[in-house]
Structure 1
Amino acid sequence: MTTTTDELAISATGLRKSYGGTTVLDGVDLRVPPGTVFSLLGPNGAGKTTAVQILSTLVTADAGTLRVAGHDLATDPHAVRAAIGVTGQFSAVDHMITGEENMLLMADLHHLPRDEGRRFTAELLARFELTGAAGKPAVTYSGGMRRRLDLAMTLVGSPRIIFLDEPTTGLDPRSRHNMWDIIRELVAGGVTVFLTTQYLEEADRLADRIAVLNGGRIVAQGTAEELKRLVPGGHIRLRFDGAAAYERAAGALRDGTRDDESLSLTVPSGGSQRELRAVLDRLDTAGVEADGLTVHTPDLDDVFLALTGHPAGPTGTTTSASASASVAVSAAAEETVR
């Protein structure tokens, strides 16, 4: 069944934005179904934050047909703002007032009646495990607590769509995992999350669909598993304790790459159960058993490197290996985008 534009939580067709002579977004198309996590990946300067700013009505696009929560951004931005919440890279928390006062201030900005604002505040502070710190100045909060408070403030008014622009940047692993749990709970409750991140594990764990943005364009789009299949290099590595077994295995697996020093064979594989079973069946036919076996499938780090020429993380430089990988996956990536 095809989802129409009006039924999508977020849709963008031909989104363009330039600053001076620099094109930041160059014909970006996005489709985000409701109740899902959509992750936009890309290196620094790729245009991720600009995309969020445009879709959340903070910046005006130069061109494109854009709809959020069923409303046209160009003709009905007020309706869009009423349906969304935004948590940016930098916290909107006022550090000089308490967590509770931050929440009540947000309730006032949403023009909630005083009793309803207090109810929202109490419920959200409890939900984000901040009740005990509610009366303390936010300046005393840890980074993880400030991020939770920031997201709690975003939820005042019950937005249907939330834009999270690198929400876990700078958090320790435990706080990051806590934030992931919160995001999962929101989506389980029907909220749509548009997530930008440079932590590829975050996108892999959370996103129903991922788009890779590079140089202002979407260079690939799909599920995490679909994107991983774009990148060559998956293999099965087999190790043998004896030279005789190693030689029999090499004869049975002639497509494998030999490592005579370690007595191991590397056989190309997409990582499927069927391919693994086929390799083991060929070994059984040859009457030999591997003493060690590992399966490597490309991960999102490999995808990111191949498609953008940058390693994952806040910084990176182009490498000759990544340039070669980019060429290898370009045709497949084009098909994924279509």
Structure 2
Amino acid sequence: MVDGRRRRSLQFWWLMFWANITLLHSCLEQREGVARGVALASAPAVKLLVEDDQVIMQNGIVKLTLSTPKGRVLGISYNGVENLLETRHHEKYRGYWDLVWGRHETTDLLEATRYNVVMETEDQVEISFTRKWNVSLGHRMAPLNVDKRFVTLRGSPGFYTYAVLERPNRAPAFDLKELRVVLKLESDKFHYMAISDRKQRLMPMPEDRRTGRKLDYSEAVLLTKPINPQFKGEVDDKYFYSVDNIANRVYGWVRSDPSIGFWMITPSDEFRTGGPFKQDLTTHVGPNLLNMFVSGHYAGDDLALKFKNGEAWKKVFGPVFVYLNSHNNSKNTPYSLLWNDAKQQMLNEVLKWPYTFPHSPDFVKPYKRARVSGQILVHDWYSF
């Protein structure tokens, strides 16, 4: 009898907790909506410029340049800087989606063969870059239909990107082992990295890895002749900057002169593999900014997506938000100001999830989703 009352009491307070969370969520959404409406009233319209081999999306804050029809990210302009990406890289490797698939772990840059402007208004421009697979292509590319999307919103200091991957009916069996977005930033300007309140620092240069000594595996390098002497004797390894999915919400780099923060924001885990305590990569020397959606890091091949002949499959990955910030009239803004602002923007994005703006019919809008509540009972039979 006592246990029954306690159970009902706990259920009552649990329901009250979620009722208050829902009310708070609603109030914040309404308050944010008013603020956003005021901002939109004075913000420039989103514009699209179509050229021979590229398209430019701009909203008066950020300018995003994409190649056509392949859908590579060629340039990101913000706060007077013409391109925040590393232009010394070939345009193929500045900003891109890619995946690793098959027994031979082949890398596919998911380059599209056509593009389409699916939405163009003063408030939003969304572009779709697509590629269809057919059996005649053999093993030259992953057997998937690809739809990469980029979205610019009015008054937004950044852009969104997401992808819809679909396995065609006649596609052969195969494993999808890794899927990610990669952005490579100016190496001579972006020196400070932040992935959490406690994990942020000045970073070595790419040259430091080239002049260093490789250790037992290629990712780990002993820095023997770094440009900045303070790094001498350190080991650089991209796995140092891994984060649990549950905490993997915002991370990025800060540029110097002028000070600009460049951040990757992921508002939900629903499109990542491995669960909340799966670790994955975020940033590393380059400076590189990643967003990992599928990987075997820290887990192995068991987390690969394995498809059999005739198995139908489709999934939306993202949207994720590339957020840019700066501080008024300051060439040497304290890193903490930009980091704290990025965290606040991350919270705003989490509150807006699931988004209402994606134009793909495959992204399930909020009004078509349901909320599941209840109890999970776990019986540990090994304890008996």
TM-score where L is the length of structure 2: 0.25
Which has more helix, going by share of residues? 1
Which has more strand, going by share of residues? 2
Structure with higher RCO (Cα < 8 A, 6+ apart): 1
- Structure 1 or 2, whichever has the larger Rg, is 1
